[in-house]
Amino acid sequence: MRNAELVIIGGGPAGMCAAVSAYNAGARDILVIERDSDLGGILRQCIHNGFGLHRFKEELTGPEYAYKCETELKKFPIDVWCNTIVTDISKDKIITAMSSERGVEKIQAKAIILAMGCRERPRGALNIPGTRPAGIFSAGTAQKYVNMMGYMPGKNVVILGSGDIGLIMARRMTLEGAKVHAVCEVMPYSGGLARNIEQCLNDFDIPLYLSHTVTDIHGTDRIEGVTVSQVDEKMQPIKGTEMYIECDTLLLSVGLIPENELSKSAGLTLDSITRGCRVDQSRQTEIEGVFACGNVLHVHDLADFVSEEGEVAGESAAKYILGKTNTVKCNINVTTDGKVRYSVPQKITDTSEDIKLYYRVSQVFDNVTVFAEADGEIIVKQKKVKVVPGEMQYIVIKKDTLKKDAKELKIYIDKA
Ligand SMILES: Cc1cc2nc3c(=O)[nH]c(=O)nc-3n(C[C@H](O)[C@H](O)[C@H](O)COP(=O)(O)OP(=O)(O)OC[C@H]3O[C@@H](n4cnc5c(N)ncnc54)[C@H](O)[C@@H]3O)c2cc1C
C-alpha cells in the first residue's frame, strides 16, 4: 500500500484549487486523482464564456478557466494521476483506485479532499409518461457531444428545465443550426442565472414556458414530438392546456446531484437538501481529516465560488496534516427557516476567522432582508432587492461577532 499525506479526488476547479492551496499552506505529499484523461472537470465541455469574472476579473471560457487553474497547479510538485478512478474510501482513509496503467491500488491517506463534482438527473428520475425512443439526452451529454465530440444530437429541439445547462444548450444548439422550439420550466421562475435568460433565450427569440412541463413523449424508434402542459401551483398538469410540439430531440436539464457514492462508502451522512456532506467552516466533514468542496458539496452556479471553496478545503487539509488546526473549538449549528433553503457550512467549530456562509433561497423574493441570528441576537443583516433560487448568495460573519459558546446560528429572510 502507498501512503500519501493528502489525496484529492477529482481534478475539476475544486480539486485543482484545493491542491494549490494545500501546497501553499505547507502540505507537500499531495496526489490528485482524476478519472478523466485530463484535468479540468466539467469546464472542459463548457466552451461558452462567462467564467472567472470574480476571480480573474476577465471573461473566460470554461477551458480557459481550467487551463489557468492547471497552469497554477503545474508550478508545484503535485502528483496527478489521470485516467484513474477511485472506487472506494474506507472510514480509516484507505482509498482504492483503479487504472489500466497501475491496476488496483490502495493508498493510505492522512487527509482526503472530496472534489468529485456532480452528475445530471436522468429521465428515469422524472417519471415522464410515454414511449422510450432515441433522441432524449441530458443537456450535459448533448453539450459533450456538440462541444467535444463534434456530433449534433438533433435539429428540432425541446428543452425541459431552465437551469443554466438547459439555457446554455438552447443557445448552443441554435448556433449549430438547430431550431429550439421551447424551453419548458415546471416552476413559475427559471432556475438559471438572469444573464443566461437574456443572453441564451431572449437574444435568440427562444420561448420560455414557465409553469409548463412535458406530459407525454411521442415516437417509437426516434422521438417525434412531445406534449407540453401548463401546471397548477401544486405542479399538476392543467387539463385543456396541452400543446403538441414536433421535435426530434428532447434535452433534459432537470437538476444536478452531487456525486457522493464514495462519501457514502466512507460512512458519511448526506444533508437531505444539498445532498452533499455536512461540513464545518473549514469544509471538514464528520470524519476528521476528510474535507469536501465544490459541486460534490453543494451545486454551485459559478466556478469562482467553487475555486474559493477548494482553497478553503485545501488550506484546512494542510493545517490538519501539519497539526495546526485550531483547538479552541465551538459547536454551533447553522439552521435556516425554509425560505432560506440551505446554507453551507452547516456547522461552525471555530470562530477565530471570518466565515463566509453560502446559501440559496427556496423561491423568488423581492425587497427582503437576510438575517444571521446567533441564539436570538441578530449579528448580520443583508438587504436584498431580489433573491432567486438559481443564484447562490453568501453572507459574511465577522470573526468577533459570533460568540464561541453560541449554540445556534439561524439564517432567515424577512421583509426589508
Ligand atoms: C453547462 C454548465 C455551464 C456552466 N456555466 C458556468 C458559467 O458560465 N460560469 C461559471 O462560473 N460557472 C459555470 N458553470 C459551473 C461550474 O462550471 C461548475 O460549478 C464547476 O466547474 C464545478 O467544479 P467541481 O470541481 O466541483 O466539479 P467538476 O468540474 O465536475 O469536477 C469533478 C471532477 O471529479 C472527477 N471525478 C468524479 N468522480 C471521480 C472518481 N470516483 N475518481 C476520480 N475522479 C472523479 C470528474 O471526472 C471531474 O473531472 C457551469 C456548469 C455547467 C455544467
User: Which of these three, 267, 293, 325, is where a domain ends?
Assistant: 325
Cβ proximity of 356 and 283 under 8 Å: no
Which pLDDT belongs to residue 321? 98
Which set of grid coordinates corresponds to residue 388?
432567486
Pairing mode, if any, of strands 179-185 and 156-160?
Answer: parallel
Same domain for 94 and 51: yes
Same domain for 81 and 19: yes
Protein residue whose Cα sits closest to atom 49 of ligand 1: 41
User: Ligand 1 centre and the CA of 368: distance in Å?
Assistant: 31
User: Which of these three, 254, 283, 311, is where a domain ends?
Assistant: 254
Protein residue whose Cα sits closest to atom 39 of ligand 1: 116
Same domain for 161 and 129: yes
User: Ligand 1 centre and the CA of 114: distance in Å?
Assistant: 13
User: Ligand 1 centre and the CA of 118: distance in Å?
Assistant: 7
Rounded CA-CA distance 206/107 in Å is: 50
Which pLDDT tens digit goes with each residue over 77-113?
Answer: 999 999 999 999 999 999 999 999 999 999 999 999 9
Rounded CA-CA distance 179/173 in Å is: 7
Q: Closest ligand 1 atom to the C-alpha of 45?
A: 1
User: Ligand 1 centre and the CA of 300: distance in Å?
Assistant: 9
Same domain for 173 and 73: no
Cβ proximity of 390 and 299 under 8 Å: no
Cβ proximity of 275 and 260 under 8 Å: yes
Looking at the structure of the chain, the number of domains it has is 3
User: Ligand 1 centre and the CA of 43: distance in Å?
Assistant: 6
Which pLDDT tens digit goes with each residue over 137-179?
Answer: 999 999 999 999 999 999 999 999 999 999 999 999 999 999 9
Mutate-to-test residue for ligand 1 from 16, 31, 42, highest number of ligand atoms within 8 A of CB: 42
Residue 327 pLDDT > 70, yes or no?
no
Residue 393 pLDDT > 70, yes or no?
yes
Q: Which residues pair with 222 in a beta bridge?
A: 134
Protein residue whose Cα sits closest to atom 16 of ligand 1: 303
Which pLDDT tens digit goes with each residue over 197-254?
Answer: 999 999 999 999 999 999 999 999 999 999 999 999 999 999 999 999 999 999 999 9
Which set of grid coordinates corresponds to residue 70?
492547471
Same domain for 360 and 284: no
- Greater pLDDT, 327 or 223: 223
Q: Closest ligand 1 atom to the C-alpha of 15?
A: 25
Same domain for 239 and 190: yes
Same domain for 164 and 187: yes
Instruction: Give this prediction's pTM.
Output: 0.95
Q: Closest ligand 1 atom to the C-alpha of 39?
A: 49
Mutate-to-test residue for ligand 1 from 47, 116, 197, highest number of ligand atoms within 8 A of CB: 116
User: Ligand 1 centre and the CA of 41: distance in Å?
Assistant: 5
Which pLDDT belongs to residue 131? 82
- Per-residue pLDDT band for 34 (boundaries 50, 70, 90) equals very high
Exposed e or buried b for every residue in 378-392, given b needs 16+ CB within 10 A?
ebbebeeeebbbbbb
Look at the block and give the residue holding cell 489525496: 7
Mutate-to-test residue for ligand 1 from 17, 32, 46, 79, highest number of ligand atoms within 8 A of CB: 46
Calculate the average pLDDT of the chain.
95
Rounded CA-CA distance 106/116 in Å is: 18
Residue 329 pLDDT > 90, yes or no?
no
Same domain for 31 and 109: yes
Determine the structural domain holding residue 390 and report its residue range.
328-416
Q: Closest ligand 1 atom to the C-alpha of 140?
A: 1
Which pLDDT belongs to residue 125? 72
Same domain for 247 and 126: yes
Which pLDDT belongs to residue 328? 64
Q: Closest ligand 1 atom to the C-alpha of 44?
A: 29
CA neighbours within 13 Å on the CB side: how many for 189?
A: 15
- Greater pLDDT, 121 or 82: 82
Same domain for 261 and 187: no
Q: What strand order describes the sheet that includes 332-336? A: 347-348, 332-336, 408-415, 365-374, 377-387
Residue 138: CATH number of its domain: 3.50.50.60
Which pLDDT belongs to residue 122? 80
Residues with CB under 6 A from ligand 1: 9-15, 33-36, 41-43, 46, 50-51, 85-86, 115-117, 140, 143, 164-165, 168, 259, 262, 294-295, 300-304, 306
- Per-residue pLDDT band for 7 (boundaries 50, 70, 90) equals very high
Same domain for 223 and 160: yes
Protein residue whose Cα sits closest to atom 30 of ligand 1: 117
Rounded CA-CA distance 325/316 in Å is: 8
- Per-residue pLDDT band for 126 (boundaries 50, 70, 90) equals confident
User: Ligand 1 centre and the CA of 383: distance in Å?
Assistant: 31
User: Which of these three, 227, 254, 281, is where a domain ends?
Assistant: 254
Same domain for 393 and 272: no
Residue 353: CATH number of its domain: 2.60.40
Cβ proximity of 276 and 268 under 8 Å: no
- Per-residue pLDDT band for 326 (boundaries 50, 70, 90) equals confident
